[in-house]
Chains A and B, each alone.
Chain A
Amino acid sequence: MQEFTNDPIDIEALPNYEQAQLKTLHPKYWNVVMIHIGIFLFLLAAGIAALVVFNSEAKQHIILFSALYIVLAVLLIALNRADISRRGFAVRDKDIIYRNGVIALTTTIVPFSRIQHIALHEGLFARMFGLAALNIFTAGGSSGSLHIPGIEIGEARRIKEMLMKQITKTEE
């Protein structure tokens, strides 16, 4: 308790997380998401086609099926588009901020000193576009950890290196 000081803190003067410049995900990440959606829609279309061909009763509702299919496809693409455009992250001096969410905008802040370990994940399609995902784990379990996809691989590596340095620094 020797160095104890108790100066009043001006809350307004504290660094505001909302003012941090968020970096959006790499534009190529949209391609990865589109591939995922495409695969899903293709499988769904194949399923519907099989149903229509082999089931005479389903044949009568072919227009309804296709209408529903188109609505679903449009909705999926629009929601994912909105989702990706809203995502963003920022690395500050002492923490990392991640924002995401379509109907609810969620911002999570993880201080460097609380990071347990970091993982760099390169998915199959992401790698084709030179992208990677950063997984940042804290002792707060999966809810208190970050998963940031769609970062250019070189940058992801740089961030990881930097965070690793920060972790060892705080541990000393």
Chain B
Amino acid sequence: MTMDHDFSKPQKQSASGIIIMFANTLQKVIRAAALPVLFIFIKSGGQHTWAMVSGSIALILILAVFAYIRYVKFTFFLDEDKQEFIINKGVFSRTTLTIQLNKIQQVNINQSLLQQMIGVYSLDIDTAGSDKKEASIKAVDHTTATLLRQKLLSRDTSTTESGQLAASEAESVMPPFLKLSNFTLLKVGITSNYGASIALLTGFIFGLFELIKDYNSAFEIEENQLSQAFNRGFSVFSLCFLLIAALVLILGTNIIRTFIKYFDFKIIKQKRALAVSSGLFTKHNTLLKPDKVQLSAYSQNYFQKKLGMLNIKVKQASYSSADEEDEKKSAVEIPGCDETERDEILKMIFDHIPAKGKPLLPNYRFLFLRIMLCIILPLLAVFLLGSFFLTVIKPHFVLAVPYVFIVVTLLYFEYKHHRLYTNDNFVIKRSGIWDIEHEIIEPHKIQAITAKQYFWHKKADVGHLTIHTAAGVIHFKYGNYTHIKNLVNYWIYKVESSKKDWM
């Protein structure tokens, strides 16, 4: 151990951090200056090559000195009395970043390819709240990283105890509680991310239509029987080829993406936390604290069900994610686990396996608006357009039949899967068409509740419910409004009477 682990005094990063700093600055400079320099080089016709080379060397030297000063000026320390973590940095202008420990949501230890070669880690501190600040330390050794993380996250436990605890954690290699084999990753890659795949496939289908059109025109012209037959054979062959190529391409990218993200995926159980690590090039290491979890979800599609596996997503509080639909940044994903492992993880988070309570079913009106938007309106538009303006598409009106059939089937499944299960301790929402997702929250994690009713639903006693959490919203639509209002009263009572804090 080369570094002093008394965080109350200002500390520097690992000495090899200079290399990281240098690489970072160099990257920025190259990105900014590459094009102009190239332009000048071409303009001058390569006459001043020597001047260019010596200039570059000088620049690199300056950057190296700059990196060294940045390294010297970058210090961090923990103010235990004020419960603050303070980072001082900057060469020309000094910046002091003060982070209150109770605002810290997550501390991640990551390692890029370069950091892996040097053997240092970066520590990224994620804070929640409207005062959005991001802090990261680019180069520390493993012991410092784990120790510091433990200290940053343990604001309630006494510091000496947690310090020893972290030290023992850093030294001893505990057997992982969950480890994904390459075979599992392969299965995950094949069965998930169909959204992106379908988008790619539609592109291919449009390509196919083009081909069919070519084929039709070739048929009508009736030039040469031989070349026609050749054409037909060729296009059928190329059609099949294209289809197979598309499938291989989609599955290939899926598998590669899965491997880059989840290679060597491990979960290690620690005292009151789960350490999740994965990554092929960049190693990600996240510590998951159960009491910080806002929303947990697991999803499974038909293939995954047959293979007996599902994907888990655990979301922690994040101000940006509460607004945006994609909560990728604050979500920890655990792919490819089976049901026992899922129950084990949920038990870690919630203390017991969340039971599905009484289901709340949506009204059949759920389908009305969707049928209107996805079937009636587009078809009407196409029919009108085809009858009066674009008569070319008239012969293809028959395609409306399979379209309606497919969309109705999809909508039916969406309706069928839309459920809200509630009991005293959990709210579970099921939704999805192909990937069936269960989102789980505990009532005391609720931030606000909205109940909404359109005036034409008043008589039918149908309404909508929105539960706002710090990690996104849960919607339940077209439910029995009397029931929803009772639930709202109950959850508000639960939030206000419970002593449990949401974070």
Are A and B bound to each other? yes
Task: From B319, B473, B490, give the contact of A143 (CB < 8 A).
Answer: B473
A104 touches B495 (CB 8 A): no
Interface of A: prevailing SS: mixed
Q: Which of B322, B453, B493, B495 contacts A140 (CB 8 A)?
A: B322
Interface of B is mostly: mixed
Chain A CB within 10 A, most for which of B128, B469, B495: B495
CB distance from B481 to the nearest CB of A (A): 11
Q: A101-B452, A140-B447, A144-B447 are in contact. Are A114 and B319 (CB under 8 A)?
A: no
Q: Which of A129-155 contact B (CB under 8 A)?
A: 137-146
Binds B, one of A13-21, A37-45, A73-81: A13-21
Which residues in B have their C-beta under 8 angstroms from that of A111? 448, 492, 495-496
Distance to closest chain A CB from B476 (angstroms): 15
From residue 98 to 130 of chain A, which have CB atoms closer than 8 A to chain B?
101, 103-114, 116-117
- Residues of B within 8 Å of A95, CB to CB, are 492, 496
Task: Determine whether B92 belongs to the interface, using a CB cutoff of 8 Å to chain A.
Answer: no
Please tell me if the beta carbons of B486 and A140 are within 8 angstroms of each other in the complex: no
Does A9 sit at the interface, judged by CB under 8 A? yes
B451 partner residues in chain A, CB cutoff 8 A = 106-107
Q: Are A103 and B322 in contact (CB under 8 A)?
A: no
Q: Are A114 and B322 in contact (CB under 8 A)?
A: no
What are the residues of chain B within 8 A of A14 when measuring CB–CB? Answer: 489-490, 493
Instruction: Indicate if B323 sits at the interface (CB-CB under 8 A).
Output: yes
The answer to whether A140 touches B489 (Cβ under 8 A) is no
State whether A108 touches B448 (Cβ < 8 A).
yes
Whether the pair B473, A144 counts as a contact (CB closer than 8 A) is yes
What 0/1 pattern do residues 448 to 464 of B give for CB contact below 8 A with A? 11111111000000000
Distance, CA A46 to CA B492, complexed state (A): 50
Contacts of A110 in B (CB 8 A): 447-448
B502 touches A (CB below 8 Å): yes
Let me know if B492 and A109 touch, CB within 8 A: yes
**B485 an interface residue at 8 Å Cβ cutoff?**
yes
Q: In the bound complex, how far is the Cα of B330 from the Cα of A141, in angstroms? A: 14
Nearest-Cβ distance from residue B266 to partner chain A, whole angstroms: 30
Give the interface centre of A11, A17, A144 by most chain B CB atoms within 10 Å.
A144
Report the number of A-B residue pairs with Cβ-Cβ less than 8 Å. Answer: 101
Distance, CA A66 to CA B22, complexed state (A): 67
- Is B130's beta carbon under 8 Å from chain A? yes
Q: A144 CA to B323 CA in the complex, in Å?
A: 9
B427-468 at interface with A (beta carbon < 8 Å): 446-455, 466, 468
| Residue of A with least CB distance to B499 | A3
Q: Which residues of A contact B (CB under 8 A)?
A: 9, 11, 14-18, 94-95, 101, 103-114, 116-117, 137-146
Q: B residues engaging A (CB < 8 A)?
A: 128-130, 317, 319, 321-323, 446-455, 466, 468-470, 473, 485-486, 488-490, 492-493, 495-496, 502-503
Interface pairs (29), CB distance under 8 Å: A9-B490, A11-B486, A14-B489, A17-B489, A95-B496, A104-B453, A105-B452, A107-B452, A108-B448, A108-B449, A108-B450, A109-B449, A109-B450, A110-B447, A111-B495, A113-B495, A116-B129, A138-B448, A138-B468, A139-B128, A139-B502, A140-B468, A140-B469, A141-B322, A141-B323, A143-B322, A143-B466, A144-B447, A144-B468
Beyond A11-B490, A140-B447, 9 additional pairs, beta carbon < 8 A: A107-B450, A108-B448, A108-B449, A116-B130, A117-B130, A141-B319, A143-B468, A144-B322, A144-B448
> Lowest 9 CB-CB distances: which A-B pairs, in order?
A144-B468, A141-B322, A140-B468, A140-B447, A139-B470, A141-B323, A144-B448, A94-B496, A138-B447
